[in-house]
Structures are given as C-alpha cells and as structure tokens.
Amino acid sequence: MSKNSRIPFIVCSLVLFSSWVQAESKWITETHKIYSIHYDSVDKQNVKEYKAFIDSGILTVQAFFGGSFKSRFEVNIHPNRKSLDTQWQTDWKMPDFKSECWMVASGVAGKLDMISPKRWDTESCEHKYADKIKTQQLITHELVHAYHGQFNASPDFSDVTGIDWFVEGLATYASGQSDSASLAEVRKAVSENKFPAELDKFWTGKLRYGFSGSMVLFIDKKFGRAKIIELLKFNNKKDLLAALSISEEELLNEWKEYISRHTVSL
C-alpha cells in the first residue's frame, strides 16, 4: 500500500469516530427545588460538584437580599466554548458572535449558561477551577444576575440604559468578588487619579469589576441594604439615581472620598 492510498481510510475513520462521539454526547436534565440543570453526558461525573456550588451560591444570594428567588430558572452546563457561543448567538440574535477567552458564564432572570467549570482551565484564559473560592464567587455572581433579573423591568437586561455599573457591580459585590485585593487596586487607582469620571465608564477597562463593585459597596454602606433591594427594579440610570436622591457628580465624589478614607479594610 502506498502512503497516499491510506489517506482516505484515515479520513473515513475520523468521520466515523466523530459521528460516534456525537452519538455518545447527550444532554441530561435534572430538576431541583428552584432550578433545573441541563448538562452533557460528558459531565455526568462532575454535576454533583457543580450543584454544590449552585446551592451554596443560592444561599449566599438569598442571604444578601434577605429574600427568595421569585421564580424557577434553568442552568445550562456547556461541554465547551463552541456550545456556549452557539447558545449566546441564538439568545442574543448575533449569529457571528464569538466570546472573549475570559467569558465563561452568563446569568439572566430565567437561566444561567456556563462552560463546564472543570474545563475553564483549558477553555478560558483567566479562570482556574481549582481556585474553589473564585469558582464559587463566579457562579454566585451569575446567580446574582438571575436574582436581579427576576426583579428588574428588563429580566434579561436587554433593555437597560446606563446601569452596566450597577448590574455588574451588584453581582461583583454580592458574590464576594470585591475582596480586599480588588479594593486595594481601586484605592490605588483613586489615589493616582486614574478612575472613571462618569458612571458609564465604570464597567470598562481592566478594573471594571473593582470600580463597579466598590461603587455598589459604597451605596450599600451609605444608603443601606433595603435601598439596594429597592434599586433592583430600575432599568435606567436616571430612575436609579432619583431613587437615591443624588446626582451622578455627588455620588462619584462621595464614592471617591469613601474609598480614599477607608485605608485599612472596607
């Protein structure tokens, strides 16, 4: 047999193998008290661990807001980035959408989508599954979005104006991602006068989690948790600031002063 005559056999074998793999891949659904989890059969061994993260995240979210989720939601565990991208392309009606390498999950009122966390190490550029605290915080972050969406005028956040900083800041703060390391970075940036001059810029750049999370932390400390809960329903910046009876300029100044003043711990 010449070298070349073997190629069709190899190609054919690959086709057969890939169709066998596809035939093996099957989505499974499990129904739990307030959510249903859908996963590919390749994650059968992992789903118990994932459910523990979700259950713990639900407790954190409900304790933070002092209330329960209003309605059931779905959790989709995608076996790879391609599967997640296909989902987002459909959901967001953006057929050409390609996710950035740091994106691994999303959350809205009715559902969470995430790449199978054990594959974050290979399918993402920023997240390590083995860092259990950060993995938990990330899953809790998405659950905060789901809770927030259930009380928001725009449950999937598709119709929001100027509140990216609040949506992301709330999920960052309530999930514990505004930790001392993150706040130290924000404080340093503020001391060097390198911080956004307007709320619309908070959820941009390398420190977007830090800036947005620290702003919601400040609102929580100044106005209280009941006010945070009252803000969940607003889908635009004007209504949100009106509910706080504060101008954007005053809020920014007071946030800056608070961040600078609290030099030890927040």
- Name residues whose C-beta falls within 8 Å of residue 21's C-beta, 6 or more positions apart in sequence: none
Report in angstroms how near the CB of residue 92 gets to Zn ion at its nearest. Answer: 15
d(Cα 124, Cα 103) in Å, to the nearest integer?
7
Site for Zn ion in 169-208 (CB under 5 A): 171
Q: Which is nearer to Zn ion, 201 or 256 (CB)?
A: 201
Stretch that binds Zn ion, among 22-30, 91-99, 164-172, 211-219 (CB under 5 A): 164-172
Strand partners, 236: 161
Q: Which is nearer to Zn ion, 81 or 145 (CB)?
A: 145
Stretch that binds Zn ion, among 43-51, 167-175, 181-189, 231-239 (CB under 5 A): 167-175
Report in angstroms how near the CB of residue 207 gets to Zn ion at its nearest. Answer: 15
The reply to whether 109 sits near Zn ion by the rule CB under 5 A is no
Tokens of 253: 């100044």
d(Cα 70, Cα 149) in Å, to the nearest integer?
10
Q: Which is nearer to Zn ion, 40 or 174 (CB)?
A: 174
Report in angstroms how near the CB of residue 91 gets to Zn ion at its nearest. Answer: 15
Report in angstroms how near the CB of residue 94 gets to Zn ion at its nearest. Answer: 18
Exposed, middle or buried by CB within 10 Å (0-12, 13-18, 19+), for 61?
Answer: buried
Tokens of 169: 């800041």
Q: Which is nearer to Zn ion, 40 or 166 (CB)?
A: 166
- Specify whether the CB–CB gap between 181 and 150 falls below 8 A: no
Going by C-alpha positions, the residue among 162, 163, 57 that lies closest to residue 107 is 57
Tokens of 222: 């100044």
Stretch that binds Zn ion, among 66-74, 79-87, 161-169, 230-238 (CB under 5 A): 161-169
- Which residues here bind Zn ion, judged by CB under 5 A? 168, 171
